[in-house]
Amino acid sequence: MEQFIDAAPGIRLWTEQRGAADAPPLLLIMGAQATGVGWPEPLVDALAAHHRVIRYDHRDTGRSTWPFDERPYRIADLADDVIAVLDGLGIGRAHIVGMSLGGMLAQMMLADHPDRLLSATLIGTSALSTTPYTTPDGSTVPVEALPGISPEVLELWARPVEDHGQAAEVQRRIEHWRVLAGDQLPFDADHFHALEQRVIAHTGHHRTGTAHGRADNSGMLRTDQLAKNEVPTLVVSAPAEPVFPPPHPEHLAQCVNGAYVVEIPGMGHALPPAVQGPLATAILAHTGATATG
């Protein structure tokens, strides 16, 4: 079921619900410039067998309002949109699953609105914390010394995005996914081709948004609040991750009180078919062990 939510004056967010209406709610939060349909259908279906699954389009993605060029906003406003989606759908508390920027928004939810959460799952993201990383041998590593984004990803992100038509744009996105997916699993170009065709059909155009990369990201740190977290939290570790490579997941689990890590073999910063089953299993084990309140 599709529904639009008024998140703020002049801001409408596209949402979709799947699964039994009386099942425990589970909200999927995608990454920067990514639409809700970026969550793969088989993964959504697997989760919807046990949950009322909600996915949505951020501002400046998909079918939601694209306001940034006329009315710039902060990344923190995207976190407020998470609450707006829950309120608009009449959901008091939900499990949340956040990927990449979505994982950062999920951390802000853990810190600022723990009463709205049943559990959290954090994927492909880094800690909103200044707490140093403690290595297995007991030494400490400052946050700024943790591994950074891979040079291949940085080089791709530095290229100007030019419109050479839809076919060329789809191919550009596939090559982007090839790098993001990492080098531990065979690259499934057909999967990502179908994904981007679906995203374009859903959005209604092939323009690439840049709003989230330009938005003010100040005020996102939640060091003290995350250290006091009481919401059951799963951190997914992706060994082929090129954006937030290991030990970022282990560091994140140290920063979020009570969090634990599950590794998905071969996973990078993408959701190809090979990782969807293991990821669904990990998420459902986590949500299933959590009281529904």
What pLDDT, in 10s, does the model give residues 132-165?
999 999 999 999 999 999 999 999 998 888 888 9
Q: What is the pLDDT of residue 161?
A: 83
Q: How far is the CA of 56 from the CAs of 14, 70, 88, 180, in angstroms?
A: 5, 22, 12, 22
pLDDT above 70: residue 184: yes
Q: What is the pLDDT of residue 147?
A: 96
What whole-number percentage of the chain has pLDDT above 90?
95
State the first-to-last Cα distance of the chain, in angstroms, to the nearest integer.
25
Q: Cβ–Cβ contacts within 10 Å for residue 15, how many?
A: 21
For residue 291, name the pLDDT band (cuts at 50, 70, 90).
low
> What domains are defined for the chain?
2-148+209-288 (3.40.50.1820)
Euclidean distance between CA atoms 164 and 113, whole angstroms: 43
pLDDT above 50: residue 227: yes
Euclidean distance between CA atoms 233 and 68, whole angstroms: 32
Mean pLDDT of the chain: 96
pLDDT above 50: residue 293: no
pLDDT above 80: residue 292: no
Q: How large is the average pLDDT for residues 177-188?
A: 97
Model confidence pLDDT, tens digit, residues 16-75: 999 999 999 999 999 999 999 999 999 999 999 999 999 999 999 999 999 999 999 999
Q: Answer whether 0.95 is exceeded by the pTM.
A: yes
The Cα angle at residue 91 between residues 258 and 15, in degrees rounded to 5: 105
Q: How large is the average pLDDT for residues 88-109?
A: 98
Model confidence pLDDT, tens digit, residues 265-288: 999 999 999 999 999 999 999 999
